[in-house]
Amino acid sequence: MSDEASTVLPIEFHEVSYIRAETRVLDGITIRIAAGKPTVLIGPNGSGKTTFLRLAMGLLTPQAGQVLWAAQPQCPVTRMAFVFQRPMMLRRTVAENIRYALRAARAAGDAGAMRATRERESARIDELLALVGLEALGQRPARSLSGGEQQRVALARALARRPDVLLLDEPTASLDPAATKIVEDLLRAVAADGIKVILSTHDLGEARRLAGDIILLHRGRLLEHGSSSSFFNAPVTKEAAVFLAGELLL
């Protein structure tokens, strides 16, 4: 999807600061996230990755600066979806969790979901279950699934509204390698489908495998933003080089 066709992209941060409990979680961030390959946020704990994603989703409002979506100050939340690090599953089956997301999208007036009938809704649930490889688990209680499976349900729920932008907060943080690979493959498929993926991760390998461009945050400040290849091959800042060398970035 190109920026011109999107009601969300580019997402622009202009001198954005966010303060929580007298701590500057993000400090004067200016950045432009455009359509294209996945954007990956990296940085040590407490660098502000989650806050960055929440601001990009419109879940938080900055104390200073401005976030714009396609040059507009109103967050087009119906065109975006968020997958949390520890997704919350409703106390119902996997299929009903996805149905809930579909209905929430329809109630929110999302054009893609507006015309859904019961049959089309069920067909879409089957389609989403197949996409995330959980066809066999549709009738299982969502809370009884493993962490990796729940993450895939959360992905299916997020994709139910056919978002233009998908944000994910460390989606593979607590997953084993096999589950991580499934989620990464899914994200590649989603990105190939034209959905802009923005995710945070601690895993440099994952960042290298998925990212089109990399954002490095440290102590709430933007250290680097550039293409994945230039970031990994020729980091500009000393801190980025230290981080890439696997040393502690204090």
φ/ψ of residue 27, rounded to 5: -130, 100
What part of residues 149-188 is at the interface with other proteins (CB under 8 A)? 157, 161
Whole-number minimum distance, CB 166 to other proteins, in Å? Answer: 11
Whole-number minimum distance, CB 138 to other proteins, in Å? Answer: 13
Tokens representing residue 69 in the block: 């979506």
Whole-number minimum distance, CB 132 to other proteins, in Å? Answer: 17
By the rule CB under 8 A, 105 interacts with other proteins: yes
Among 24, 143, 162, 181, binds other proteins (CB under 8 A): 143
Sign of the torsion formed by the C-alpha atoms of 68, 71, 74 and 79 = negative
Contact 198, 41 (CB under 8 A): yes
* Contacting residues for 121 by C-beta, under 8 A, at least 6 apart: 99, 102, 103
Among 108, 111, 114, 234, binds other proteins (CB under 8 A): 108
Task: State the virtual CA torsion across 222, 224, 225, 227 in degrees, nearest 10.
Answer: -160
By the rule CB under 8 A, 198 interacts with other proteins: no
If the CB atoms of residues 26 and 207 are measured against other proteins, the closer one turns out to be: 26
By the rule CB under 8 A, 112 interacts with other proteins: no
Whole-number minimum distance, CB 231 to other proteins, in Å? Answer: 28
If the CB atoms of residues 152 and 157 are measured against other proteins, the closer one turns out to be: 157
Among 39, 47, 51, 93, binds other proteins (CB under 8 A): 93
If the CB atoms of residues 16 and 105 are measured against other proteins, the closer one turns out to be: 105
Distance between CA atoms of residues 165 and 60, nearest Å: 17
- Interface with other proteins: number of residues (CB under 8 A): 25
Distance between CA atoms of residues 231 and 78, nearest Å: 32
By the rule CB under 8 A, 52 interacts with other proteins: no
Among 64, 90, 173, 244, binds other proteins (CB under 8 A): 90
Tokens representing residue 245 in the block: 């060398």
What part of residues 122-141 is at the interface with other proteins (CB under 8 A)? 141
Distance between CA atoms of residues 188 and 191, nearest Å: 5
Q: Which DSSP letter does residue 230 get? A: H
Contact 215, 31 (CB under 8 A): yes
Task: State the virtual CA torsion across 122, 181, 52, 74 in degrees, nearest 10.
Answer: -30
Among 8, 29, 35, 57, binds other proteins (CB under 8 A): 57
By the rule CB under 8 A, 104 interacts with other proteins: yes
Among 81, 195, 197, 240, binds other proteins (CB under 8 A): 81
Q: Is 190 helix (H, G, I), strand (E, B) or coil?
A: helix
Contact 75, 69 (CB under 8 A): yes
Which residues bind to other proteins, rule: CB under 8 A?
A: 57, 59, 77-78, 81-82, 84, 87-88, 90-93, 100-101, 104-105, 107-108, 141-144, 157, 161
